[in-house]
Amino acid sequence: MASFEIDEAEFLKDYGTEATCCFEFGESPRISTYLYAFIAGPYDIFESDKEEIKNFNVPLRLMCRKSVARFLENSKEDYFNTTKSGIEYYEKTFSTPYPFAKLD
């Protein structure tokens, strides 16, 4: 992976005195481009209340815009159950474990 230096003054010039953060992410495993998304914003994060999801071999979290979080609260477990079932199905069908450390 190539490394590069960030010119802090250049990076911050458009932000004035606004609080700003810069993050550097580690290299990830190869993934199809149609399965990739980079999303930022004021989001709420949900985790399951059920032990079978909390103890699943792939940690699962769900994120949504804060403006719609109240609509997700009552149906979040449906998303977790569907995602867990999908991972299990594909692991079994293709005899290949889920390749990532988590699913957000």
pLDDT given for residue 59 in this prediction: 96
pLDDT given for residue 3 in this prediction: 62
Of 81 and 8, the structure prediction assigns the larger pLDDT to 81
Neighbours of 44 (CB within 10 A): 15
pLDDT tens string 8-66: 788 778 877 777 777 777 887 777 777 777 777 788 999 999 999 999 999 999 998 88
Which pTM does this prediction carry? 0.67
pLDDT given for residue 52 in this prediction: 96
Nearest to 43 by CA among 17, 23, 83, 72: 72
